[in-house]
Amino acid sequence: MSPFLFWIFVAIMLVFAIGVIANRSPVASALSLVVSFLALAGLYVSLDAFFLGAIQVLVYGGAVMVLFLFIIMLLDLKAERMRKVNSAAVLGGLVVILLFVKILFDVSYGFQGGVAQFPALTQTPQGDAWYIGMTLFRQYNLPLQVVGTLILVASIGVVILSKRELK
Amino acid sequence: MNAAPWIILFSPLIGAAMIVLATEKFKRISSYISVAAVAISFVLSVSVFRGEDGSAGFTWIDLGSFQVKIGYVINELTKLMLLVVSGVGLLIHIYSIGYMAEDKGRSRYFAGLSLFMFSMLGIVLANNFIMMFIFWELVGVSSYILIGHWFERSSAADAANKAFLVNRLGDFGFMLGILLVWNTTGSVMFDEIGQRWTSSATSPLVLTLAPLLIFCGAVGKSAQFPLHVWLPDAMEGPTPVSALIHAATMVAAGVFMLARTFFLFVPSVTALNVVLWIGLLTSLLAALMATQQDDIKRVLAYSTLSQLALMIAAMGLEAPQAGMFHLFTHASFKALLFLGAGSVIIGLHHEQNIWQMGGLRQKMPVTFWTFLVGTLALIGCPPFAGFWSKDGILAAALGHQNIPAFIAIACVTFLTAYYMSRLFVVTFFGETRSDTAAHAHESPMVMTIPLVLLAIPSTIAGFPAVVSIFYKVPEHEGAVAAVVVSSIAFLTGAISGFLLYREKAKDPIDIPLFENRFYIDQMYEVLVKWTQDLLANVSGFVDRWIIDGGFVRGTGRAAWGFGFALRFLQIGNLQAYAFLFGVGVVLLLYFILFGAS
Amino acid sequence: MVTLNDYLIASGLLFAVGFAGVLLRRNIIIIFMALELMLNAANLSLVGFSRYNVQNGLPDYNAQVLVFFIITVAAAEVAVGLAIIVALFRAKQTTHLEDLNTLKF
């Protein structure tokens, strides 16, 4: 993928991610998050992970964010009023973030292997959905079943947690 | 191995053990056992005297590099001292049967007396420092037991404590001296030290310090200044005890020890001078104090202090033979004087103040005549024993060309004559000054016979013919000058005492300084109190603030403080938790990826 | 040419943005969304490494299966978390973080 496209997608992703955390209104935040996820799906595709890109859009954008918006609408959350800012906490948080970014850059520029070109893919005759499926059902069958059970448990939990008190 | 010295040593111990274990209730039997034990020791001492010199011993404690040997050494010094100790001891034991006839604690008394004989004979026979030190301490214990015999009287109990504690001070210096000598020469046997001393003690500090430390022991035991304060108070014990221990034998142990270890003092002029001047100072002080005392036993106690100091001074004048000669004669006449005083005290039903006595010349004739003999011997009137021995010391001073010492000894002679004639005149002459004096009568024979027996050596022990049987006293130049000066001194003293105190009902001269013993006791009391308060305050401070406040409470407070500080980390603020989480992650990454700095 | 380092830096920056959101916002829902950002940043770096480790001409699909699982579990977690927030909102009538804090200091 050409660097130009790559950096555009990264820019979109980061800008809208900042939009998520900077917006006053929860709805605006949720919609920014959707856009960020789409850009991320684009990055997946640029890495030849087509199946995952599709899953990202479908699951995250289609299910998770819909759920978020649904809850925001349910609770009828208004834009947040400004409260007194604890400047010491904000400052501390920013310092930690900046330190983390600094470590990130130091690590990346020390990682020699990371400047090599991606090796070429020589064969994908069946498409990666087939390969992922085979890996999933052959080698990771047990984790698959476990995750399935986890989702079942989560659904039951959600129903119980959001029950109103029975009078 | 010659068994006689061992029997001499252990016979009184066995006697004491028998009394304590078996015959506590049978007081008469206890007294006989004790006398028998001492008699055995005396008889064997005579046979040892006529026997050979020698030395033997065995190892009592063997820890490899550290060994404690118990042994005896018989030489001229030992033979003489054995005779003195066991002979005078035997006479006093017999006298005690009469003196303590009505005392309820007689068994305890005789057991203590036998223990004392055992300890004293141990000192005399010892051939090494450690054994001597062991018996030295034992003598102190016996003295404590005997001074405090009438312990129901708080003054007696206090006096016993005082004697023991003051002795302990001297013994501490003695122990340091023994350790120093041991360290320098590698041995504690007297003969080995004597051979090795001049070659191993190379630094002048050791040469002076070791004898001075050893001298501390003599200062304590023989009651020299500044540790003299216990001896007058020791008069709280029964009079025979005062006679035996505090006149004839125990206090002489210090002088004996100096004679035994004199080879340590010879190389050091400083040590000899210190010994000399402490002796002279004590002698003068004690003589001055004696002139104002009203208790018959106290006068004799100060007189003992003074005479002992003369013996110590003789050691300082490098004349140990003169000192031992005086010890020999002093033992007999001082014991005689004390036993005579005891006779007077018993005759007057335990009255001790001389101003309550008087006119006893007719009432107690045997006591009167023997006391006269003892007094004349003490003040140095020829031909009695004291004259010869005191002259020996004066001559030694002249021979050493030490004129200040000579003058000091002459002054002491004058004062001795003065206070003894004061004592004699007030006690025995004049009218009777109290009822008890009027009803006095002579003591029983069991008490007067020892008096007579002691009067014999007091008279003849000074004659050169007699002396040469026992002992060799070297000639000194200037002996004639010494005779003249001492005669003038004692005559003036005796006559002035006689004239001043004749026919007097109370003391015409009153010098509070002497009477209160130069206030030395009071000074010590203040000093001890001040030291104890200081120590108590320092200890209290350290305990309260440093140990309790600093360590104990400090640890508690530190733990509490930590807990308080850490509490702020968990206050329920979600974002605070996340923040700390982030800090932790960043730090962890930094240390893992870039290594700890 | 785009290298692995670029993808990793992008992932790291996304993670930093998410972490900043957790630290600095006080609305529960927004914090939750920032949490999702962090998960996705991890996914991106996983996919990057998957493409990088090529075996037999194929990318390493183990990482992609892991991403699959992460997405699944994240979805379940969102569901449960939002249910809790709904229950909390019914009790406290607020989504502001400071009002939800009942732990005494």
What totals of helices (H) and strands (E) does chain B contain, helices first?
27, 2
pLDDT for position B465: 65
Determine the Cα–Cα distance for residues B316 and B404; give it in Å rounded to an integer: 13
* Chain C interface disruption, residue of A20, A76, A85, A90, most C CBs within 10 A: A20
Residue C70: closest CA among chain A residues belongs to which residue? A147
* Chain B interface disruption, residue of C17, C22, C32, most B CBs within 10 A: C22
What are the phi and psi torsion angles at C10 (to 5°)? -60, -45
A97 and B575 within 8 Å at the Cβ level: the answer is no
Q: Which helix (H) or strand (E) holds C92?
A: helix C61-92
Determine the Cα–Cα distance for residues B163 and B587; give it in Å rounded to an integer: 75
C97 and B579 within 8 Å at the Cβ level: the answer is no
B571 and C97 within 8 Å at the Cβ level: the answer is no
Taking the Cβ of residue B573 and every Cβ of chain C, the question of whether any pair is shorter than 8 Å is answered with yes
pTM: 0.66
Provide the greatest CA pair distance for chain B: 117
Q: pLDDT confidence of A10, banded at 50, 70, 90?
A: very high
- Asked if the model's pLDDT at residue B476 lies above 60, the reply is no
Residue A118 distance to chain C (closest CA, Å):
6
Contacts C37 to A, Cβ<8 Å: 17, 20, 33, 36
- Asked if the model's pLDDT at residue B211 lies above 70, the reply is yes
Determine the Cα–Cα distance for residues C46 and C11; give it in Å rounded to an integer: 9
How large is the average pLDDT for residues B414-422? Answer: 88
* pLDDT tens digits, one per residue of B522-532: 888 888 889 99
pLDDT for position A1: 59
* pLDDT tens digits, one per residue of B8-22: 888 888 888 888 887
Report how far Cα A137 is from the mean position of its chain's Cα atoms.
24
Residues 577-596 of B with CB under 8 A from C: 578-579, 582
Residue B570: closest CA among chain C residues belongs to which residue? C105
Fill in the amino acid letter for B209. L
Determine the Cα–Cα distance for residues A44 and A27; give it in Å rounded to an integer: 26
Q: Which of B123, B156, B356 lies closest to B257 in space, CA to CA?
A: B123
Q: CA-based angle B226:B232:B236, to the nearest 5?
A: 140
A14 and C16 within 8 Å at the Cβ level: the answer is no
Taking the Cβ of residue A99 and every Cβ of chain C, the question of whether any pair is shorter than 8 Å is answered with no
Q: How many CB atoms neighbour CB B278 within 10 A? A: 20
For chain A, what is the mean pLDDT? 87
Taking the Cβ of residue B584 and every Cβ of chain A, the question of whether any pair is shorter than 8 Å is answered with no
Tokens of B415: 């004062």
Contacts A35 to C, Cβ<8 Å: none
Residue C15: closest CA among chain B residues belongs to which residue? B582
Residue A108 distance to chain B (closest CA, Å):
11
Contacts of B422 (CB under 8 A, 6+ apart): B291, B497, B500, B501
* pLDDT tens digits, one per residue of B159-189: 898 888 888 888 999 999 999 888 888 778 8
B and C: number of Cβ contacts within 8 A: 21
- Measure the N-to-C terminal CA separation of chain B; round to a whole number of Å: 81
- Measure the N-to-C terminal CA separation of chain C; round to a whole number of Å: 55
* pLDDT tens digits, one per residue of B424-469: 888 888 777 777 666 777 777 778 888 888 888 778 777 766 666 6
Angle between helices A87-110 and B574-594 (to 10 degrees): 30
Between B200-204, B534-538, C18-22, the lowest mean confidence (pLDDT) is in B200-204
Tokens of C17: 């943005």
Q: Are B418 and B509 in contact (CB under 8 A)?
A: no
Nearest to A135 among C17, C37, C61 (CB): C61
Q: CA-based angle B234:B240:B243, to the nearest 5?
A: 65
C23 and A20 within 8 Å at the Cβ level: the answer is no
Fill in the amino acid letter for B426. V
How large is the average pLDDT for residues B324-328? Answer: 85
pLDDT for position C99: 78
Looking at this predicted complex, what is its ipTM?
A: 0.90
Report how far Cα A10 is from the mean position of its chain's Cα atoms.
13
Taking the Cβ of residue C72 and every Cβ of chain A, the question of whether any pair is shorter than 8 Å is answered with yes
Tokens of B158: 């206090």
B593 and A96 within 8 Å at the Cβ level: the answer is no
* pLDDT tens digits, one per residue of C10-48: 999 999 999 999 988 888 899 999 999 999 999 999 999
Tokens of C24: 């600095």
Angle between helices B106-125 and B4-21 (to 10 degrees): 160
Taking the Cβ of residue C49 and every Cβ of chain A, the question of whether any pair is shorter than 8 Å is answered with no
B586 and A92 within 8 Å at the Cβ level: the answer is no
pLDDT for position B535: 92
Taking the Cβ of residue A157 and every Cβ of chain C, the question of whether any pair is shorter than 8 Å is answered with yes
Taking the Cβ of residue A62 and every Cβ of chain B, the question of whether any pair is shorter than 8 Å is answered with no
A and B: number of Cβ contacts within 8 A: 25
Give the best-scoring range by mean pLDDT among B48-62, B426-440, C43-57: C43-57
What are the phi and psi torsion angles at B76 (to 5°)? -55, -45
Provide the greatest CA pair distance for chain A: 66
Chains that touch B (3 or more CB pairs under 8 A): A, C
C-alpha atoms less than 13 angstroms from C-alpha of A3 in its C-beta half-sphere:
7
* pLDDT tens digits, one per residue of A120-155: 777 666 778 888 999 999 999 999 999 999 999 999
Fill in the amino acid letter for B8. I
Contacts C96 to A, Cβ<8 Å: 80, 83
Q: Which of C80, B119, B113 lies closest to A151 in space, CA to CA?
A: C80
Determine the Cα–Cα distance for residues C80 and C31; give it in Å rounded to an integer: 15
Q: CA-based angle B350:B352:B354, to the nearest 5?
A: 140
Between B114-118, B294-298, B405-409, B511-515, the lowest mean confidence (pLDDT) is in B511-515
Residue B568 distance to chain C (closest CA, Å):
8
Determine the Cα–Cα distance for residues B174 and B180; give it in Å rounded to an integer: 10
Taking the Cβ of residue A60 and every Cβ of chain C, the question of whether any pair is shorter than 8 Å is answered with yes
Taking the Cβ of residue B565 and every Cβ of chain C, the question of whether any pair is shorter than 8 Å is answered with no
Residues 59-78 of C with CB under 8 A from B: none
Taking the Cβ of residue A57 and every Cβ of chain C, the question of whether any pair is shorter than 8 Å is answered with no
Instruction: Looking at B186-319, list the stretches that DSSP marks H as alpha helix, in order from N- to C-terminal side.
Output: 190-200, 204-221, 230-233, 239-243, 250-260, 262-265, 269-290, 296-316
Please report the DSSP string for B257-285 in residue order: HHHHTHHHHTT-HHHHHHHHHHHHHHHHH
Nearest to C65 among A121, A136, A162 (CB): A136
Residue A67 distance to chain C (closest CA, Å):
8
